[in-house]
Structure 1
């Protein structure tokens, strides 16, 4: 195999912003934000809008999450109030 062509693979914590669910996994993505995990170590924090905790395919039910007031902006834009 060629040396020095693969990205660094490290542990990071993913945070589902719609449910607050967190999980530790490996990733090549980095972040300036960090979080202390259950094992006492500090890991980079990556925020995602959908994970297995909030996706309807995995949960079997639809969860409506208004991320950042998008529904209100849409209603205001099209006068649907």
Structure 2
């Protein structure tokens, strides 16, 4: 590898903002925010919106915003549900 053209590879902490799950991994990403972990070391902290702890594919849980289907919503809106 040529010197001086590649970003610095170092240990960082990624934190899932929805669950608080944290994990340490190697990355070239940087952050001004830091966190002290249980091992006593301080690492750069990068907050992510979704991780393996909150993603439905990995957790097996799916969140449904709308339980009704299109037909049910139509029937409720136009009062055809009981006919």
TM exceeds 0.5?
yes
TM-score calculated relative to the size of structure 2: 0.71
- After TM superposition, give the deviation of residue 2 of structure 1 in Å: 2.5
- The number of equivalent residue pairs is 64
| Structure 2 unaligned spans of 5+ | 65-83
Match of 1:6, SS state, is: coil
Q: Which residue does 2:3 correspond to in 1?
A: 3
Quickly say closer, same or farther: Cα 1:63–1:46, change in 2 above 3 A.
farther
Moved over 3 A (4+): none
- Taking the aligned partners of 1:18 and 1:63, their CA distance within structure 2 comes to 13
**Does the 8 Å contact 1:54/1:63 carry over to 2?**
no
Match of 1:13, SS state, is: strand
1:1-81 equivalences in 2 (<5 Å): 1-63=1-63
Q: Which stretch has the larger CA shift, 21-30 or 3-12?
A: 3-12
Quickly say closer, same or farther: Cα 1:37–1:63, change in 2 above 3 A.
farther
Q: For the pair shown, which has the larger CA radius of gyration, 1 or 2?
A: 2
- After TM superposition, give the deviation of residue 7 of structure 1 in Å: 0.9
